[in-house]
Each structure stands twice: as C-alpha cells, then as structure tokens.
Structure 1
Amino acid sequence: MSVPINSLTQSILGIAKDAGAEIMAIYEKDFAIYEKQDTSPLTEADLAAHNVIVNALESVSDLPILSEESADIAWDERKSWQSYWLVDPLDGTKEFIKKNGEFTVNIALIEDGKPTLGVVYAPALNKSYVGVVGEGAWTEVDGAFTPISARKHDGSEVWKIVGSRSHQSPEIQNLLAQLSGDTELVAMGSSLKLCLVAEGEAHLYPRLGPTSEWDTGAAHAVALAAGANVTVLDPANPLDNNADALTYNQKESVLNPFFLVSA
C-alpha cells in the first residue's frame, strides 16, 4: 500500500505517535496513585510527550521549536523566525482528566506566519489527521490513509456547527441566527474541533473563547489542506467573507483572536 505523504511528514506522524504512546502509558493508570505526589498525571503526560517531540524534532530538523511546555521564548528572538515547529504535546486537558479520549498531540510546521504541515494524533482514539497544504489531507488509522476534504453546505441540509454541549454564548446565537435553515451542534474536544470541519463532519466551527497558537496550528494546517478556511472572527459580523486569515508568530502575544473554521 502506497503512503501518500512525503518522508518529512511521515517522520512527524511517527513522532506524534511516539509521544502519544508516552501519554497513553500514563492515561491508562489509576489516577488515584497521584494523590500523594506533587505532580499530576496531566503534568507528567504533558512533559513526557514534550520531551519525546522536542528530542525527535531536533534529530530531523534544525528549525526552532515553540511548544506549550517551553513557551517562554522572548519575542525579540521569535520575531525573526521565518519557519519553526509549533507544538502542543497534549491538547484537551479536560478530556484527558475525564478519560473520554478526545485529546490530541499536535505538531505543525509554520512558514511565514502560515501553517503548511500539520499532524493531529488522538492516541486514545487510534486516529491521526495529517495535512500538507497544497498536497492534501488524510485521516490515518493503523497505516491506512483516507483522503478527507471540507464539505460546503448545500443550501438545504441542516447546518452542523461545532460547539459546546451545554453553553451557547450570545455571540454564537448571533451567528446561528444569520444562517438560513436548521442548525445542529456537534460537540468535540481539543483540536479535533477543527478536524471535524476538515473531514466534512461539520460545516462551521466558530471559536469565541481563548486559545493559544499551539492549540490550533496543526489542525489549522489540516483544515487548510482539506480545503477549509480559518479566518479571524468578528462577533458583530461573524460571517464576513472578507475576514483576514488566522496567522502565527506575528505579534508578541501567542493568544489567538476569535476565529471561524468554515468550508
């Protein structure tokens, strides 16, 4: 069976899976054993995955690395980066603690402020999302790759919106009110929210809460590679067709603005 991704992307997928194995070794333990320790299973899993990823990336690339677990790199240094790796070793802390499986390992290549390669691996679900902008996007399970693409709303079907299971803000209600037809909320944890739009399981993912750049970089690359758009969202005009694309490392703060993932 041929593999549709290039050798670098294969390496990044392998690194994400190695990090996921470290996470799962902790995830499958009884968390009660940590109650008398200074650390938490979440902290241990985060750091273990971070170390695996950073060490492996340094062996295949000389590009700088920005990870959630090593985010204290001065802007004066970061602002000169044209290309770098953006890493979230464990995204979905609530999902990890709840043990619902919806947490991910995220590795992205950022070039000139844009994500161009991304791997999102959900180790508890045994599923990866891989995207290379300009080449394509796939899901991967046990070495089998399936092409994915974002799916536009056909005008008659129910709008599928990625959102909260229990809480809809006034801003979300404003967006839903601008859509013609019925809407259905699709709940998902971590960076898998963006991936739902990338694989055509949802039409829109409006994010009107805080995120950091490492939360979104890898899944953003998958979404772009699958034909979706990720744009800055103005709550007053959420469906603005002329909205700016979400970018990375263009300012000192690593916090993202609100954004919309759309097909």
Structure 2
Amino acid sequence: MSYRIDSSFVSENQDARVQILVLHYTENSFERALELLTKKAHGVSAHYLIPEQAAEMSQPFPVYQLVPEHGCAYHAGVSFWQGARLLNASSVGIEMANLGFAHEDQGLPLMARRWIPYPEAQFQAVGALAREIAARYQIAPHRVVGHSDIAPQRKIDPGPLFSWERLYREFGVGAWPDEDTVAFYTRHFPYSDDIRALQGKLAAYGYEAAQDGRFNEAMQKVVAAFQIHFRPARYDGALDIETAAILDALLEKYRNAQRPELNITS
C-alpha cells in the first residue's frame, strides 16, 4: 500500500528541537579533539569544533561541523538546565579547541590555575556562529550556557577567560546583567546570608541547586559556575553581595522576577 503525506494542517503546539546552545573547551589540542569527537570508540561528539587558529590567515576562519544540527551530538552528558535533564537531545554544542588551564595546575583551586586565553580570531568565529544558531532557533539569552552551567559538579568549561560579556555586547548572544540593576540590588537589597533564598534564585535562573539551606561543596561549585560565567574577576564560589546582586539582576531581566518595592528608609 502507498500513502501520501498531507501537510496542509499545521499544529500551533510545536517548537524547535534546539532549545539550548552549550559552549565548551576541548581540554585537548585541536588534532586530539578532532579524533575524540569523531571516532566511534570514544563515544563523544559535538555539532561544531573550532580550532585555535586558521591555517591560512587570509582565508575565512574554519569551523568544522561534525554533527548536523538536526542530529543529536553527545556533548552535554549528565546535565540539567531550567528543569530539563540530559540536554544532548535539545541542544547544539560548540567545542572550542583550548587546553583550559596548565596541566600542572590540575589540583589547584580554580582561582590559582593558569588559564589558557582564547585567540581573538577564534573568539570572533565562535561569536558569529553562536549568533547564527541563536537566531536560527530563537534561543533565549538565558539558554546560551557553558558546560559548567549545566554540569557544575563535574565541569568548568569554557572557563573564566571566555568572555560572555563580549559575546553579549558584540554579537547580541546570551545573557548579561545591566550594571544599574546590579547597583540597585547591591545598595537596596544586599545579600543577607540567606542561603536557602539564594538557592531558590539559582534554581529559578536555571541551575540545579539543592534547596536545603546548606552551603556545602556541591553548592560552592554551583556558585563558582555562576561566577565563572557572570563575575569572572572572582570565582572562588564564596557567597557575597555582588554575586547575589548579579543573580537578582539576571532574574529581573530574563526570568520575569518582579523588582521589590523600596521602603521609605531604603
């Protein structure tokens, strides 16, 4: 028997498969990363791999597509963002060839590690690609994230030297807090050691954060991931007024949080 597809009726209840854009660094050289991300034995992949530099400076910067965007690449692993888990099926992954930090610093605290910078040409290629992907699928700013955001207990990429602020300002991609809003919360509603409230706000933005009012190692890693993304000047995972104010500003700007009313003495 034969059949004919009739597409004259279109449901209003649908959305793009791609909801999230995830940025990574490879922890390896481009050559090694290419092998890991393409050979079946390794079991990992990404939609795009961007090398440190172009072979010919006069040519357009090379971007290697390893998996078509409609396919599922294995880049996110055990992950969580805004209530969704196992994000491979709903995301596009971009891997940037970058070692992360000096190998000798593996056991050091994050703030003591020597991080590897991203070459300018590579950053420009990432920004242009991310802008096209975000526009193609109408990815919300708060759904452009790093691997450390969606898996803070085990990942720290793309690290503190990837500039999310520049990605936002130069390419219009991703989220970034407004300075005046941060200043407002810093002045009028500073963090007051309410860990449970801060956990709730981290969860409201998208992070997987326990709601138990305890500041333990797992919570510190979540805070450090947030700081790596939004406050890269200091990412020690310590709770402080500036971190909380940035979080409040992001919730107001992107997650429809209502600004609290000032009292007469504020």
**TM-score higher than 0.5 here?**
no
TM-score with structure 2 length normalisation?
Answer: 0.27
Higher strand residue share: 1
TM-score with structure 1 length normalisation?
Answer: 0.27
Larger gyration radius, structure 1 or structure 2: 2
